[in-house]
Structure 1
Amino acid sequence: MHASSSAPHHLNVDSIRVGYSQGRQTVEIVHGLTFSLARGEIGCLLGPSGCGKTTVLRAIAGFEPVLAGAIALGGRELSRTGYTAAPETRHVGVVFQDYALFPHLQVRDNIAFGLRKLPAKERNARVERLLKLVGLAGHAHQYPHELSGGQQQRVALARALAPQPDLLLLDEPFSNLDVDLRERLAQEVRDILNELGTTAVLVTHDQHEAFAIADRIGVMQDGAIVQWDNAYNLYHRPANRFVADFIGQGVFMPGAIDLPAQSVRIELGSLPLWQGIDVCSTDERAGGRVDVLLRADDVIHDDASHLQAEVVRKAFRGAEFLYTLKLPSGQKLLALVPSHHDHAIGEKIGIRLGADHVVTFPPA
């Protein structure tokens, strides 16, 4: 179930500023941050550590007051300047980075913890349903220390979902797990949230996790969202150099825009421009000089090509190699090549451009 962007907003975070007092001064961490989600939508705040994403999550949960702006959920105001609704009145579930399970309680009692006010029959039915939903039906009577990291994560998820919160917050929930498990579990969590129609906000520094789980992603830099978009647009149409650099792998190549020919020339050849939409931001004063973002999947290995590049580094990725290549000018670029093409460092290989659209920035 995907919420359409025209659906009414369920969560509204409106121009919030969050910080803390240091002596007589206030140190602001989050600066005028805004985003919203429709009911059932999954959002993600993605960015490097220290960019303020966990602080935003804590403000939504009610653990931090806002200095300005407002947070509303389902039309009910939760935070504004001078007012913070208590966390336990917000109908917001939280899954913490360390899971925070009760070690002395069995799995089923951990999940039932927030359901003490329900009649026993209803409580047991809900616990059974969640155990099944998170794939732990056979582990009800085990203790947290008897479970793997991935299973503990599922218990924490089920416990947070048990009271049927209006919103679920996930704070770096997969960071203690190994890389292979992370992405798989992120997809499983997405399926569970979609099945329940739960609105959720995830905080992570891992773009693969963000791509696997979220409908909308906000890339954060220095306490602000610099682009709120879907994964495809963040990768192929980044709003600025920071997003281009943070999302995916790529290099910036110097280029020159040729407006009569509606193309941009780079060392590898010419790339067509369409209706100017691909020129994200060019500066006329730069005389048509731009930096062109080239992703690893924009460069194709082609033995028949006259354009040769030297392999200077390679990383085995299973189905493919990520090659770092050096052009005759010394410019480096990346290429993803199927792994049966195993070339030695120092070897020259033929390449050609496979980019179907261009993203340009003013020269650095």
Structure 2
Amino acid sequence: MSAPFLSIRDLERRLATGNVEHLTFVPGVNVFVGRPNTGKTKWLQTLDFLLGDTGANPYEQSDEEGLAEKYEAASATICIGDETFRIERRWREVGAKGKVFVDDEGMLAKDFQHWLMEKLGIPLVNFPKGNPMSGQTWPELSFRTLLRHIFRQQRFWSGLVDQQTDNEQHASLLLFLGLAERIYSDDYGKLVDLKLKSMRLRARREQYSETLNDLAVNLLDSEDATLGVNETTVTAALKRLQDEIERLQTRKLEVLTTASDASLPVSDRSRLSELGHARAAALEEATEARQKRLEAEDRLAEVRRYRADLAAEIERMGRVADASELLADLKVTHCPACDQGMSTAA
């Protein structure tokens, strides 16, 4: 089964006065013939604008004086397979300037291109511009790109036609050949994304290693510094620092002992030792007393809470006693559950 094809049945331009200029096409090839500057190019630009051009309408861009105010809308009847649709652009209508109306249903130009490609059975694919590993977002191979591959406008006499970039030409040709979905597949896009993430992570790891080496150069000895920062060199540096701390602490104790022996006579050294032991014992007693004080404060807080609970309970019991005295004279004549009368026992 062949894919549906697109054909143009007629083309109209609506003037601001309400009148309509009309072109009717016949099946096959249609040729515009006429003298220069008689509007042939404007008709083609109007058709191009109806087929989803996102730019300004061709009459606003015209250098001819008064042409922008002359027209207010354009429409065309298109056939896709066995279906017929009416497409319209209304650039004078508020809120409709960037929309394409398909049978009076408005949609954005990009959404119209998606609708058109779906009707024509053309798959939506994204293709890389240049190097796939460049990190740039892959643009969509839109209907406008495909149309530009087939129909290229000649806007200036100094050049032939608009030049389409090589990557757009290749993507368009691959789509026409039915290969674009296989070459620019989702799996290929995911693979490129994973490779890009891997490259970024590798670059971050290298940058982290360089920064870590710069920071750790003063902690590692000259031999370890040449090997870089790793688990072995960090463990060796940590062991060396611990040994250095122990050596300095031992040296500190030796210096303090030597200074103490040099500054105190022999007769006072025993007294100093006694005072040191007494100070240690006093600190221990103070610590025990502080702990007992904290326990007593906790116990006192608990007793106060217990006292507050008892006071609240006594107050409730008092309210119950007062209620009992008030309700003592009341007689119950009916059951509160079944509302039946109750007899008084003799």
Range class of TM-score, shorter chain? under 0.3
More strand by share: 1
> Normalising to structure 1: TM-score of the pair?
0.25
Bigger Rg, structure 1 or 2: 2
> Normalising to structure 2: TM-score of the pair?
0.26
More helix by share: 2
The structure with higher relative contact order (CA 8 Å, sep 6+) is 1
